[in-house]
């Protein structure tokens, strides 16, 4: 393949999330989140793994900052553990917890790495779950107060903020399918949680605006296509696109929930949780939309059969949808590799939801990495990242206002329900050998890409 240059100013970074890397779960005043509780509930996470220690990033900050500097990252996307900085999810700040993020941000700025802070990457303080969690409206107010607390503490040195990471996962995997924390399985709660997450986002945007600041949001979006041209398959694709993409894009960028999705969900909920003014809050202007892209869903209306990769509860009201396996190459997550789908998602968002700058805030892959002679030759990950970065350039050439890309992930980490059995990192973490960090081949490759501002010929 031919070499490719990124547009001037195209930002290249890497991403992580608090519960997946920090460890130090009960240190310096942190209280449990729903992921602490969930991972300690037998049968929920592979091998009974937890984030108690994770990559011990909390205690290895300097080493990890040095690795980010070696990579030459232009930006680093991380999340804050809510219960570390506001134990219990209410009341005043925990200075010790905040101090960790101040040291992280200052260390990034010293190295010329732009900090991109995500406020909520799935780790709700357990006390707030005990009070009802995201299906309850008050949780959105709690989130607003937490956003203000973060802005008070870090607003002088962080300018790139995102409220939520992937509310689809928090709401539908957390409250409807139960694959993720808190593991509840009530579709109506999943949809109420969706609204209250988005409301929390809107309240935070408003609070930031009152303080002369801005914050974006990150959604996980999919390319969706029907298996055949039949009407039943087209309807299946409409439903899955509705739940995965438009249920979030429409309220945030158009100020309404999609009518067809409300109709699909009619037997589950009447959307009675939406109050006057909510959608105006949720659809306030954004500085950017973050998109996490991993794969495509190919669907057929010929079900009912379980989706091959999630329990049916993740797709309420879509019991007749079958997720089709096409026999194309997959990652270790069993997710099909589909770089053209990324072009599709970006150009679709640019067309249907114009005038918001876009960033790929996550893209990457788990593969069966082998540590041999102190090195990891992850040629498959290099190929994956190369193909998806080329897709980004193609989307820009097609007119999408895409401004940057964050690889998922900086380092191997706690992959949620899969525990440490799946590795997404460009840096290998040897959990058995004192948490040793070993940059994989992809790390060196990505450093070259950043340094040269382009992709080499294959």
**How far apart (Å, rounded) are the C-alpha atoms in residues 51 and 218?**
23
Is 59 annotated for ligand binding?
Answer: no
Residue 269 token pair: 């909920």
CA distance linking residue 168 with residue 364, whole number of Å:
19
Annotation-wise, does 416 bind a ligand? yes
Element (H, E) at 223: strand 223-226
110 part of the active site: no
Q: Which one of the listed residues 129, 336, 344, 362 is annotated catalytic?
A: 362
| Cβ-contact 14, 363 below 8 angstroms | no
For ligand PNW, the closer CB: 101 or 168: 168
* Residues 244/222, Cβ–Cβ less than 8 Å: yes
**Could you say which of 166, 227, 336, 344 is catalytic?**
166
Pick between residue 233 and residue 362 the one whose CB is nearest to ligand PNW.
Answer: 362
Least distance from C-beta 26 to ligand PNW, angstroms?
22
166 carries an active-site annotation = yes
Nearer to ligand PNW, 17 or 140 (CB): 17
Check: CB of residue 205 under 8 Å from CB of residue 163: yes
Q: How far is the CB of 148 from ligand PNW (least distance, A)?
A: 24
Q: Nearest distance from residue 292's CB to ligand PNW, in Å? A: 6
Contact 348, 356 (CB under 8 A): no
- The burial class, CB within 10 Å (0-12 / 13-18 / 19+), for 278 is buried
- Give the nearest distance from C-beta 53 to ligand PNW in angstroms: 17
294 is an annotated ligand-binding site residue: yes
Q: Using only the alpha carbons of the chain, give its radius of gyration.
A: 21
- Rounded distance between C-alpha atoms, residue 96 and residue 1, angstroms: 50
Q: Output 150 or 411, the one with its CB closest to ligand PNW.
A: 411
Nearer to ligand PNW, 273 or 323 (CB): 323
Q: In whole angstroms, give the CA distance from residue 327 to residue 27.
A: 46
Toward ligand PNW, which CB reaches closer, 244 or 286? 244
> Among 443, 381, 386, 344, which Cα is nearest to 4's?
386
Positions in the binding site for ligand PNW (CB under 6 A): 17, 20, 165-166, 169, 220, 292, 310, 362, 408, 415-416, 424
| H/E stretch holding 206 | helix 187-210
Name the minimum Å distance from CB 391 to ligand PNW: 17
Min. distance of Cβ 166 from ligand PNW in angstroms? 5
According to DSSP, the β-strands at 427-430 and 289-292 are unpaired
Is 86 known to sit in a ligand binding site? no
- Is 165 annotated as ligand-binding? yes
Three-point CA angle 250, 397, 75, nearest 5°: 70
Helix or strand (DSSP H, E) at 147: helix 138-154
Return the active site residues. 166, 362
State the binding site.
20, 121, 165, 294, 408, 415-416
Q: Which residues are annotated as a binding site for substrate?
A: 20, 121, 165, 294, 408, 415-416
């Amino acid at each position: 393949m031919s070499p490719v240059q990124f547009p001037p100013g195209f930002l290249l970074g890497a991403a992580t999330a608090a519960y997946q890397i920090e460890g130090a779960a009960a240190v310096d005043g942190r209280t449990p989140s729903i992921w602490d509780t969930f991972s300690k509930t037998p049968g929920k996470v592979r091998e009974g793994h937890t984030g108690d220690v994770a990559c011990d990033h909390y205690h290895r900050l300097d080493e990890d900052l040095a690795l980010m500097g070696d990579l030459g990252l232009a930006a680093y996307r991380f999340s804050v553990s809510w219960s570390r900085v506001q134990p219990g999810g209410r009341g005043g700040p925990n200075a010790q917890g905040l101090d960790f993020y101040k040291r992280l941000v200052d260390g990034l700025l010293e190295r010329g790495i732009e900090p991109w802070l995500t406020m909520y990457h799935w780790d709700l303080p357990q006390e707030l779950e005990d009070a009802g969690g995201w299906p309850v409206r008050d949780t959105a107010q709690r989130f607003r107060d937490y956003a203000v607390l973060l802005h008070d503490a870090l607003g002088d040195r962080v300018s790139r903020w995102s409220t939520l990471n992937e509310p689809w996962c928090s709401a539908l995997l957390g409250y409807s399918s139960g694959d993720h924390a808190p593991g509840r399985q009530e579709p109506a709660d999943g949809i109420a949680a969706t609204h209250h997450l988005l409301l929390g986002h809107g309240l935070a945007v408003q609070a930031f605006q009152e303080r002369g600041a801005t914050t974006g949001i990150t959604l996980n979006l999919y390319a969706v296509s029907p298996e055949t041209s039949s009407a039943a398959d087209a309807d299946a694709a409409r439903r899955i696109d509705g739940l995965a993409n438009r249920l979030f894009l429409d309220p945030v960028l158009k100020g309404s929930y999609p009518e067809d999705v409300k109709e699909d969900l009619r037997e589950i909920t009447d959307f009675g949780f939406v109050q006057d003014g909510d959608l105006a809050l949720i659809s306030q202007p954004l500085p950017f939309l973050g998109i996490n892209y991993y794969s495509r869903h190919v669907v057929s209306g010929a079900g009912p059969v379980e989706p091959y990769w999630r329990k049916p509860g993740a797709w309420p009201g879509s019991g007749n949808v079958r997720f089709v396996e096409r026999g194309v190459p997959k990652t270790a997550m069993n997710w099909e590799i589909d770089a053209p789908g990324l072009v599709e998602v970006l150009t679709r968002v640019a067309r249907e939801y114009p005038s918001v700058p876009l960033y790929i805030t996550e893209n990457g892959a788990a593969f069966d990495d082998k540590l041999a002679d102190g090195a990891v030759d992850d040629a498959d990950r290099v190929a994956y990242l190369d193909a998806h970065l080329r897709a980004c350039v193609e989307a820009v050439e097609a007119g999408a206002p895409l401004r940057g890309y964050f690889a998922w992930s900086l380092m191997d980490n706690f992959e949620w329900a899969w525990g440490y059995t799946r590795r997404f990192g460009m840096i290998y973490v040897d959990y058995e050998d004192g948490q040793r960090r070993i940059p994989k081949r992809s790390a060196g490759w990505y450093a070259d890409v950043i340094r040269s501002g382009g992709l080499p010929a294959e």
